[in-house]
Structure 1
Amino acid sequence: MLTNSFLMLITKIVFPSIGILVKSSFGSNTLSVFESFLELNRYFFFYIIMGIINIWCFRRIDDRRDTLEMITGKSAALSFEALKKRRQTI
């Protein structure tokens, strides 16, 4: 998920910035270059916020796993397998 958002960040920021440089080097309208730059900044802040939300969510999931490991003394995967076996025997 984090890699996916990183790829989206590259496609939404790097490629439009190359387009802005090409537009400005060929002497197109200054206003359109400025509008493109504003659109670039909008995508930039959006994907930074989305990246922060992704990192925060993954950190919360890891915290829950760590808490489960502290309580049970086992990893979450091992305790889940033990729970499945216990349910099958009942």
Structure 2
Amino acid sequence: MKFKKMIKIVLILILFLSVTSCASAGVTEYEYGFFSGMWHGLILPFSSIGWLFNSDIGIVALNNNGVPYYSGWVVSILITLGFYGSLST
């Protein structure tokens, strides 16, 4: 049982690490919306670790459209916390 759980965690970590590669730096012309906020909330644990080592890495997009972006960001953080909470049981 523990082995299957460990394999599941490792596969999920590999998936997250493979999709969180280099993001463009600085403000772009693109305005980030709800789904971008959801994506940025999902990769928050990894971007937080990167931010500790490099202050150029941001936690949120600078050029966002406000409430929709932050709504998606909060929803995905709650989903992520629920997922990590389910792994501990």
TM bin, normalised by shorter chain, reads: 0.3 to 0.5
Where is the helix percentage greater, Structure 1 or Structure 2? 1
Q: Which has the larger radius of gyration?
A: 1
TM-score if structure 2 supplies the norm length? 0.37
TM-score if structure 1 supplies the norm length? 0.37
User: Which protein, 1 or 2, shows the higher relative CO under an 8 Å CA cutoff with sep ≥ 6?
Assistant: 2
